[in-house]
Structure 1
Amino acid sequence: MTDLSIVALTGALLLTGLLVAGVFASRAWSQWLEVRKLELASGRPQADEPIAPAAAGTDRIELADLKARIRKLEAIASGIDL
């Protein structure tokens, strides 16, 4: 075999391998998307979604922050300097 035919054969094999890997990756991506659709359709909370107690804790922090702001505004309105 000549050098040119070896290079052509190697190139063809590499392109074939790349094509097979691309088809495999495409099918894997499609199947992963299908799994995610089914998980979202199930209605159960996902692992990356916050759960209710964490959200309640955040609400408490925001409520405490608002109360502190109200106290400061009331102090300013009554003429008391903090």
Structure 2
Amino acid sequence: MLIFLVLLVVTLAEVGYAFLPLAKFWLAFGLCVMAIWKAVLVALYYMHLRSEPRSLWILVAVPMPLVVILIAAVITEF
């Protein structure tokens, strides 16, 4: 239940953050950071990755550089 509440608070923070008068770069950057944080929480707790063996962690971690490149490409479009 705690993770659900954290996800709810972060979602509400995202909605509020979207209306702040910031430069597009900082707006996109902040929203991406919060989205990544929520994705990590969902993966760790609802997909039960916290208790998985190390080999599965490696399988999940290998594509992360591609995710970083994709996010950087999206942010630079703004």
User: Could you state the TM-score of these two structures normalised by the residue count of structure 1?
Assistant: 0.32
Q: Find the structure with the greater CA-based Rg.
A: 1
